[in-house]
Each structure stands twice: as structure tokens, then as C-alpha cells.
Amino acid sequence: MSLLKYESQQREPLVGGNKDYHQVTEDIIGPIEMKPSRLWYIGFYLSVALLLFGVYSVYREVTYGIGQWNLNKTIGWGWDITNFVWWVGIGHAGTLISAILLLFRQGWRTGVNRAAEAMTIFAVMCAGQFPIWHMGRVWMAFFVLPYPNSRGPLWVNFNSPLLWDVFAISTYFTVSLLFWYSGLLPDLATVRDRAKTKLRKLLYGVASFGWTGSTKHWQRHESLSLVLAGLSTPLVLSVHTIVSFDFATSIVPGWHTTIFPPYFVAGAIFSGFAMVQTLLIVVRKVMGLQEYITLGHIEAMNKVIVLTGSIVGCAYLTELFIAWYGQNPYEWYAFSQNRANLFSPYGWSYWLMMFCNVVSPQLFWSRKLRRNITVTFFMSIVVNIGMWYERFVIIVTSVYRDYLPSSWSTYYSPTIWEIGFYLGTFGLFFTCFFLFAKYFPVIAVAEIKSILKTSGENYKVKMTDIEKADAEKFYSEEVEHAH
Amino acid sequence: MAGGIKKFVVGSFSDEAVLFPAVKNVRKAGYKIHDVYTPFPVHGLDHAIGLRETSLHTAGFIYAITGTTTALSFMSWVFTKDWPLNIGGKPHFALPAWIPITFELTVLFSAVGMVLTFCYLCQLSPFVKKHHFHPRATDDLFVMAIECTDKTNDAEVQSFLEKAGAKEINIQVAETGWWIGRYDREQKLYREEKGY
């Protein structure tokens, strides 16, 4: 028996049960070939219904104008931009898992990366809706692109963070899509080669681009994945940095701070991982993938959640301290009165955010709770509520009282169509995710196979026996040979 | 479509640990390995069958600097030559403010260019069809195709592969290139269809 790669036997197996390569294919591709369950139909139709409600809400906004929303004189960005930042943030976990963890050679990534990347793409699709429809006259949306036009040509302002956002989000979407799809090709070819019906053969044949599994192709594929990971890593950091510039480059109290980029990126990863947990806990249960998305995977993601949650907490306290230390009366007013004062109109949202994002994730210092599915699922929702409120707090509490007390606005609460639009993006997100879970391999089959012999439970058991039997002989023959 | 119809002795292995010594022995015996098809990337196999390193990443770098140059030259042309805008009295040549877009276009050009190059080099595209030596090469088998020349003794290669640990061994005549086709239709060689 020769080892291609050695992994310590102390490590928890990443693939449970007694598996061989074929069994991995069966377990992951099998559900695609079956009729969808009743639960799937219920979930799918519910999502489509939400999506349609969203479409109708947007229809009203386009037909009657932005007045359909409760935005007012000082609150020009309400729920809409809150939702935009929230969705973009959620996308970040997918890229972190697939790109950054690939560069760090984290084997556990293989179980969750496919679904997380899909989540990224759908979340960015949802995020993109908000700035586009917020334009009001959406038929002018192409004005954000620098194209030769008959007005001069009058170009876009390349110095504006809002334009940087256009480039950042569209690049992020394109690169994530390419990364995801190039990784899917070999797995779609697996589905194609197992297909029984003509329609499946046709569709998966088209989708898999004629992939054969040739060694040369794999070699290029590996190179491609590595470089795309290397590109996506700074890209994902740049995207939320640029989103934070939308705020940080302004002179609005509460926005004008240099801490925003790292703080936004940490928050994005925090909420993204929470969303991955929400989705995967359901997926592993419904599709019976507990042996691929193990408690070890969930624990690893909870560790990321407690880390990034604490970074976010640190950032909250830092900006509070700097607001006081900076001695700018407007800045300090925004923090001490508009936010931290529990009895101010939006004080409740600030403390809700503090509780959800800073206090509650501290539960995950306990190993027992990190490995508890119910707690994790509950926490993943709490974190996403908290992160939504973070964006709400930043946007609304900074602008509802500006420099001129006479224009301080009355209490802002969204209209049904604003809420409908937000719910609609949930519909879009889950419609896409349900279709993905039904028609695509939700776990990267080829990648699981490549770690099976080092991290599969049955192989690990075997290895432990060999090691125990004659440790010295084992190391000289296997480990040194492998290096 | 470059390729042509050739004859192959095909051996399928179920374990990469058996495959590696087999590859070594087959090459030592002087047979020509056409390709090995695997369900996942087997590390070191490319070197074992004598492939050179890919230069795809170099292409990626070239696309990246193309993106950088495009972004920087376009923005400076627009803001210093074509339509200089006075934005708060700030310099027209506002290099620091252009870094974000320059970076994004660098990444975009590199990623898109690399993926297209990858698809071109590996002849991957919708409606592209190729000969598959074994349907389980994307499932759990490692399929080695050895090219037969006029001098090759097929029976000898077959028994050689058997000794090397191959599970299924057969002889296939196949088109090595690609053709436009659909996977729900019967496999038909490109030249046959065209009546060559």
C-alpha cells in the first residue's frame, strides 16, 4: 500500500462510514437521479411564491416610483441598501471556503465548498437587485457603464466608490460563477456518464462540455483552480472593502471611519458562514449527507463564526471608543445618542445587533455547543438577524438625524412593498438553491474522492492499525516515501 | 478536431496505488500511453506519464497585466484627455482613486481569459463530444489507453496490462479528437458520419 499523502490519524475523518469511490458517487449523485421529495416541492413552490410577491413589489416600485417605499428626506438609503450589503456579505463565505481554504490546504473545505459557492452566486444575484431597482428609473441602469455615448461622450466618474461598486460586484459575480462552474464540469460529467434517460444524457452532456477526465485536463484544471483561488482571495476582500467605501468615503457621522473595510469584511464572513450553516444543516438532513458534512465540518465553521464574531465585536467597541476619543461632537452624538442610547428611537436596533453578533456567538467557545446541530441552526439564524441589523444601524441611525435638526426625520419604517422586495430576494435565493440542490451535485464529488484515502473513516481505521503494529517501519516506508 | 482514428489497448484499474507502478512499467516497456482518464485529479500522475507542466498560469498572468493596462490607460485617457472633469478641484490624474477599478479589471481579465484558454486547450464546450474509453472513468475507474502502432503486438500489451493489475482490458478503435455531437445520440465517429 503506498500513500500519496499522509494525514495524522489524530484528525477526525472528513468522510464517515465505509466508503469507496463508487459509493461516494452513489451517495452524492444518487439524489439527483431520483424524483424530488414532497418536501422539496413544498419548499420550491413556497420560494417561487415569495419570488412572485417580490416581482410584484418591484413592479409597483417601477410603475409608481420610489415613493412606494418609505424613504424620506434624510433617509435615502433605508431597507434597500441594508439588504444589498447584507446579501453581498452573505456571499463572502462561499469564496472564503472555496478560495482561501484551498490556498490554506484545508481538507474539510471539500465537503462544503460546492454548496457554499452556489450560495455566493445566488446571494450576489440577490444583492445586485437592490442598487439596480433603487435607481428608480431602472431603464437607465446602463448609465453606470462606461460606454461611448452620444452625450459627449460623457463618461462615468471613476473616482466614485459607487462606481467602484459596479465593477467590484460584477467582477465578483463573474469570477465566482467561473470558479464554481469550472469546478462543476467533472462532476457534471459523472452525472452524464451515469444518465439513463435521453433527456439527462442530452442536458448533462451539454452542461459538462465533453469532459473526459484526461490527465492533461486535470493538470490544467488544478492549475486553473489554484490561480482562480489566488485571484478570488484578494477579490473577496476587495469587494466588501469597496462596499464599505460607499460609506467610509463620505463625511456622514458614523460612516466616516477608517475601520470600515476590515470590519465589513469580517462581518461579511461572519454572516456568510451563518448562512452556510443554515443551508447545509437542512441539506445534509434532507439529502442524507451526514457522512460528508459531518459534525467536524459544522464545528470548523462554528470556529470561524466565533472568530469573526469576536472581530466584529472588537470593531464595534473600537469605533465607539474612537468616536469618544476623536472629540468630534457630531461623531460622538451619532454613537452615543443615535445608537448606544437605548431610549433613542433606534437604540433597540443597536443593542439587538450587539446581542446577536457579539454576545450570542460566544456560546461557541464550548466544544459541546459547537457540535450541537440544534444550537448551531438556531445561532445561524440569530447571527444573520444580527448582521442585518448591523447594516440597518449603520445606515439608518447615521442619516435619520443629520447636521440640521430641522430636517431630522420622523421614524422610518418600511412599507409593505419594501418588505416585499426583500422577501422577494429570499424567494429568488431559495428558488435557485432548490433547483441547484435538485439538479447539481451539492458536494464536489471529485474533490471528496481525492481526499477519501487520507481522510475517509474506513481508511483511517486501517491506517491506525498499521501504524500501531510497527510504527518505525511504517514511518520509514510510508511517510518518508510519500514526501 | 485534430486527431484521427487510432487503435488502443485499454486497461482499467480500480486503485491508484496499482495504477502508479503500472504506468511506470508500461512506459519502461516502451509502450506509448495515449492518456490516463481518472475520476479525480491524481497528484503526480501527470509527471508519471511524462507530461510537462502546464503554462496556463503564465497565460493568466498575461491576461492580468492586460487588464491592469486597459483599466489604467482608459481611465487616464478619459479623465486627462477626453473629458477632464473638475471633481472638487482634485487632480485630474487621480491614481489612488483608480486603484479599486484597476484591481477589479485585473482580476476579471485574468479569470475570464484563463477559463476561456482552459476550455480552448482542453476542447471543452457545450455540444462537444469525444470518445470515452470507459463510462466509469468519471466514477471509480482509472482508465489507461495505450496507443497501438503497426509494430505493437496487441496480445502482448493485453497480457502486460493484466500482469500490471488492470481489471478490464479491451481493444478499442477510436477517434482521438473531438466532434460536434450530443450525448443522447449513439456514438458515431466523426469521419464515419461524414463518410470519409
- Cell representation of residue A275: 448562512
Tally of CA atoms within 13 A in the half-sphere of A205 that contains its CB: 23
Interface confidence, given as ipTM, is: 0.93
Q: Say if CB B48 and CB B20 are below 8 A apart.
A: yes
Rounded CA separation B66/B109 (Å): 7
Q: Chain B: give the shortest CA distance to residue A59, in Å.
A: 32
Residue A167 and residue B105: Cβ atoms within 8 Å? Answer: yes
Length of chain A, please?
483
Residues 76-115 (A) with a CB less than 8 A from some CB of B:
none
Give the chain B residue whose CA is nearest to the CA of A163: B101
Question: Phi and psi (nearest 5°) for B180?
Answer: -85, 120
Contact check, Cβ <8 Å, A228/B111: yes
Specify the pLDDT at position A1. 34
- Which CATH entry fits the domain spanning B5-51+127-194: 3.30.70, 3.40.390, 3.30.56, 1.10.3470? 3.30.70
What is the per-residue pLDDT for A319?
A: 92
Nearest-angstrom CA–CA distance, A413 and A79: 9
Within 118-177 of B, beta carbons closer than 8 Å to A belong to 118-119, 121-130, 132, 135-140, 143
Looking at this protein, which amino acid is placed at residue A135? M
B69-122 pLDDT, tens digit per residue, is 999 999 999 999 998 888 888 899 999 999 999 999 999 999 999 999 999 999
Q: Is the pTM of this model over 0.90?
A: yes
Nearest C-alpha in B relative to A240: B100
Which of A159, A167, A210 has its CB closest to that of B94?
Answer: A159
Which residues sit opposite B169 in a β-bridge?
A: B11
The residue with cell 442536458 is A203
- Cα distance between residue A229 and residue A364, in whole Å: 29
| Measured CA distances, A305 to A273, A298, A378 (Å) | 7, 10, 13
Interchain contact, B184 vs A155, CB within 8 Å: no
SS3 B141: coil
Contact between B100 and B68 under an 8 Å Cβ cutoff? The reply is: no
- CATH 3.30.310.50 assigned to domain A21-146+154-455? The reply is no
CB contacts under 8 A, B 84-113 vs A, are 85, 87, 90, 94, 97-98, 100-101, 103-105, 107-108, 110-112
Contact A432, A122 (CB under 8 A): yes
Residues 6 or more apart whose Cβ sits within 8 Å of residue A405: none
Query: Which residue's entry shows cell 469521419?
Result: B191
Whether B114 sits inside 8 A of A154 (CB atoms) is no
Which residue from A301, A275, A282, A299 is spatially nearest to A388, judged by alpha carbons? A275
Other residues' Cβ atoms within 10 Å of the Cβ of residue B74: 18
**A358 secondary structure, DSSP code:** I
- CA–CA separation, A359 and A343 (whole Å): 20
User: Is A218's CB within 8 Å of B20's CB?
Assistant: no
Backbone conformation region of residue B4, classed left if phi is above 0, alpha if psi is from -120 to 50, else beta? left
> Whose CA is closest to A446, among A205, A175, A213?
A213
Q: In angstroms, rounded to a whole number, what is the distance separating the alpha carbons of residues A478 and A356? A: 49
Q: Is the Cβ–Cβ distance between B117 and B56 less than 8 Å?
A: yes
CA distance A118 to A125: 11
pLDDT in tens, chain A (483 residues): 344 456 677 778 888 888 889 999 999 998 888 888 888 999 999 999 999 999 999 999 999 999 999 888 788 888 999 999 999 999 988 888 888 888 888 888 888 999 999 999 999 999 999 999 999 899 999 999 999 888 888 899 999 999 999 999 999 999 999 999 999 999 999 999 999 899 999 999 999 999 999 999 999 999 999 999 999 999 999 999 999 999 999 988 889 989 999 999 999 999 999 999 999 999 988 888 888 999 999 999 999 999 999 999 999 999 999 999 999 999 999 999 889 999 988 999 999 999 999 999 999 999 999 999 999 999 999 999 999 999 999 999 988 887 888 878 777 889 999 999 999 999 999 999 999 999 999 999 999 998 888 888 877 777 777 666 666 666 666 665 555
* C-alpha–C-alpha distance, residues A423 and A429, integer Å: 10
Whether A147 has its CB under 8 Å from any CB of chain B: the answer is no
Contact B140 A227 (CB under 8 A): no
What is the distance between the terminal CA atoms of chain A, rounded to a whole angstrom? 15
CB contact under 8 A, B118 and A159: no
CA nearest to A230 within chain B: B107
List, by residue range, all CATH 1.20.1630.10 domains of chain A: 21-146+154-455
Give the start-to-end residue ranges of the domains of chain B.
Answer: 5-51+127-194, 56-121
Q: What is the three-class DSSP state of A146?
A: coil
